[in-house]
Amino acid sequence: MSPTPATARPVALVTGAARRIGAAIARRLHAAGYDLALHHLHSGTEMQALAAELEGARAGSVHVLQADLRQFDRVPELVAATVGHYGRLDALVNNASNFHPTPLGTVTPAQWDELFAVNARAPFFLAQAAAPHLRASGGAIVNLADVYAGRPLPRHAPYSAAKAALVSLTRALALELAPQVRVNAVAPGAILWPEQEPDPGAQQAILQATALGRAGTPEDIAAAVAWLLSANAAYVTGQVLHVDGGRNR
């Protein structure tokens, strides 16, 4: 396939890209010159607005994909749809996540499977499907981990375990895909508070345990992702970059 003006630019697939940290990553990579395949599940209105914004800046630069990452067959389809549209893939950003309390004594197998499906299984099988294309382009993968992968959050054992699995998979994939493809993770700290059950007391305690004494921004995470995908990080693989204001110290 001869490259078109659209496919001549590097291409990134970003999951969970409609809002919050995912949208910040999309904007940062778009500004860096990437064409984007942007995945979402339920956030159709937000995704339409983001796509219109980015398309307004550069026409033909956004391809929107909708899928439930808990449905295994939909996972490799995202890679196939991206490569089918653009003819290449240079970066995979596994940002999509699900997060909800699962107090011990109430956890069901369905909750366990759901949290692992989105936070660990989908990133692995997306990487597996993307691997041939990333090898061809000398591309990179960035996974969105969490500070709770190393310091589990009370009432969230399956979520914390799933993110710990993602950290381990990041290091394993870095070995499997070297030397052509680099694989790293970003572990955000206090960036955006959960939308459910806000707890001002808990938020203040987190900030007091953070060296910089404040929350970060989605743009802080987006900048870290962009750096790990760039040539400036060409000798970095198998690493977890904590962007947490000094909370993990």
Q: Does a structural domain hold residue 249?
A: no
Q: Does a structural domain hold residue 5?
A: no
Q: What is the pTM of this model?
A: 0.94
The pLDDT tens digits of the residues spanning 6-22 come to 468 999 999 999 999 99
Q: Does a structural domain hold residue 35?
A: yes
The pLDDT tens digits of the residues spanning 167-220 come to 999 999 999 999 999 999 999 988 877 766 567 777 888 888 888 888 899 999
Q: Does a structural domain hold residue 46?
A: yes
pLDDT at position 10 = 98
The pLDDT tens digits of the residues spanning 28-87 come to 999 999 999 999 999 999 999 999 999 999 999 999 999 999 999 999 999 999 999 999
pLDDT at position 200 = 77
Residue 165 CB neighbour total at 10 angstroms = 18
CATH of the domain at 100: 3.40.50.720
How many domains would you assign to the chain?
1
pLDDT at position 5 = 43
Q: Does a structural domain hold residue 3?
A: no
Domain range holding 46? 11-242
Q: Does a structural domain hold residue 247?
A: no
Residue 60 CB neighbour total at 10 angstroms = 13
Q: Does a structural domain hold residue 94?
A: yes
- Range 146-153 average pLDDT: 92
**Range 48-57 contact pairs with CB under 8 angstroms and sequence separation of 24 or more:** 50/17, 50/18, 50/19, 50/23, 50/26, 53/27, 54/26, 54/27, 54/30, 57/30
Q: Does a structural domain hold residue 1?
A: no
Which residues does the annotation mark as catalytic? Answer: 159
